[in-house]
Structure 1
């Protein structure tokens, strides 16, 4: 049995209260929505807070399917476009982009998503086929005790000599690694598609520490002193006592994102729309900001003063987040992965 912390218990109570404000119509109790979700702390929070709040608001039952974008995509492709196991999915846009192109998703019926109108332009994506439900902006994280000259721009990774040999990067298997390539292409080449310039620039960084998922361990040990970091992870490390900070680079940020999509042939489509609107509501967006330090995608959410240090990117700052052509990346996935393996040390 999961033992809830005081914070989770209070958050759950807040979610249940918030759900009453959303005013969803109740539906038959026997309706069940299968909700794909990430594992770990995300699964715990969905079980303790998000799922119960939606069940109370909708009268339906929620069954969680724990995995990741690769797993959810494999499940959908195994079942086929006509008989998907899910009615709704929230996953990284790099995965959503491929599934969308294969015909799994429908264009959103915005009459069923009133909260869509309040999303930042950044979150209204794919010509109406998706909405961003969660954003973790990525800036430059660094050790304040091991860096004399704090970074201000991505170009500092190349220009600041004290960073040499102590730079961390996500590898190409992670969506952040792909964004690192597109960012370098944009900064040092003509645009994000100029990957020749991007690879040339990344090669000039010299020896770097690459990881698929966790850069925090290397930053904590001092093996690296600077790396792309989402602001939420830096907030968690700071609360653990590590002397770290994260800055918004002059050239802009990139992001970990979660796209909400509706399956064209999902078994519980109406319930899926209710759940999608629930996720995009100010109440749920605030709950996620407090729990995971993600930046709300609903523009009506005002970050309180006591949370601004942990969630510094909101409002006007959202315009500083860069976006990418994931169709381009997916089409050239094998070629780019091979070049990365040969180029990045």
Structure 2
């Protein structure tokens, strides 16, 4: 064999070998096209997994989910790996994100010019270091078969007929919104929660459980341990899937909250931003509204019919200054533990 022919044969073999290696390795760069997203397990299973599947199909970027039982649990995990975070996008409540993202070593700002859907977001959905994935009110969810008459508003929950019947979020869950509702109902405000604590003491005989986990409260309602659950409308979806009839209403005053996405300081920020932007897209927002029963933050997307029926009227909605909530919630929680939860 002549030298040129020999080199040609070697080259062909080398190319073939490289092709074989590529076949086992998958598409070029596939190992690098992956991000890790931390979110609540139920939320992921109900709809975010479907969003992630669509994202991977469209971009080729695989999403590895990491579940958290709550936002505080998720933040603690992130802080434990602060020097080399393994999570690229973290889902959190807006109140906790407002505090956590002050840590600019761990979290990066989210540039609006990197989000093609930023211009379509509802008011309040985009902040410097986090962007909302959806919104929801604090609602009343109850089992009609377990109550004597339909519930029409918040004040009904103080009726002695509901003794030992309510599952209510503790102060840290949903950032004290139930305390603030109680305050507003009785002439108070975020700057004066004294009427709220007084009302909670009067409500205490009716409260069977204060919860910090959505799954615990749903289980209690499903098993008939409580007849009423105070929480977001999304709590109703898995109950209905299990064949349990529940009614949802969002009475005035209706606190509206956001669950948000934060960008963690990792080498995969570009892919993470692409995922965040995809979650804000109309196709993803429709999945979130229809599958998770959350309000879409993209103004071009209508809430699912079932959700639209229970979302509060704009005039009934209330929002609170997250900076004030964050400054006060530690004291509220200590007082809650000492005076209410015991």
**TM-score, structure 1 normalization:** 0.77
Retained in 2: the 8 A contact 1:140–1:248? Answer: yes
Give the CA deviation at 1:84: 3.7
Residues 140-196 of structure 1: CA deviation (Å, up to 9, x unaligned): 1223234344232222223x34234423212234236x2111222233243123222
Quickly say closer, same or farther: Cα 1:187–1:106, change in 2 above 3 A: farther
CA pair 227-34 structure 1, distance change in 2 beyond 3 A: closer
- Aligned to 1:260, the other structure's residue is in SS state strand
Given the superposition, is the C-alpha separation of residues 319 and 119 from structure 1 closer, same or farther in structure 2, using an over 3 Å criterion?
A: farther
Q: What displacement does 1:298 show?
A: 1.3
Please name the residue that 1:135 is paired with: 135
Map of 1:28-47 to 2, 5 A cutoff? 29=30, 30-40=32-42, 42-43=44-45, 46-47=48-49
Q: Which residue of 1 aligns with 2:88?
A: 87
Q: What SS class does the counterpart of residue 97 from structure 1 fall into? A: helix
Q: What is the correspondence of 1:230-245 to structure 2 with a 5 Å cutoff?
A: 230-245=232-247
Contact 1:88–1:266 (Cα < 8 Å) also in 2: no
2:195 corresponds to which residue?
197
Provide the aligned length of Structure 1 versus Structure 2. 307
- 1:61-106 Cα offsets, whole Å, 9 max, x none, are 33333324224312332343x7543333221223212212233434
Q: Which residue matches 1:168?
A: 167
In 2: Cα distance, 1:32 partner to 1:332 partner:
39
Q: What SS class does the counterpart of residue 192 from structure 1 fall into?
A: coil
- Unaligned runs of 5+ residues in structure 1 are 1-26
CA contact (8 A) 1:192 1:324 kept: yes
CA contact (8 A) 1:28 1:60 kept: no
Quote the residue 1:23 is aligned against: none
The Cα shift of 1:339 comes to 1.2
Q: Describe the SS at the equivalent of 2:279.
A: helix
Residues 184 and 201 in structure 1, CA contact (< 8 A), matched pair in contact too = yes
Q: What are the equivalent positions in structure 2 for 1:55-204 lying under 5 Å apart? A: 55-67=56-68, 68-80=70-82, 83-103=84-104, 104-124=106-126, 126=127, 128-158=128-158, 160-175=159-174, 178-204=176-202
When the two chains are superposed, the root-mean-square deviation of aligned CA atoms in Å is 2.9
Q: Secondary structure in 2 aligned to 1:140? A: strand
Unaligned runs of 5+ in 2: 1-27
What is the CA-CA distance between 1:234 and the residue it aligns to?
2.3
TM-score of the two chains, using structure 2 as the length reference: 0.77
Aligned in 2, Cα 1:65/1:309: closer, same or farther, shift over 3 Å?
closer
Q: How far, CA to CA, are the matches of 2:88 and 2:245 in structure 1?
A: 43
Measure, in 2, the Cα distance between the counterparts of 1:180 and 1:84: 34
Query: 2:289 aligns to what?
Result: 289
* Pair 1:85–1:331, CA change in 2 (3 A): farther
Cα distance in structure 2, aligned partners of 1:142 and 1:333: 28
> How far did 1:327 drift?
3.6
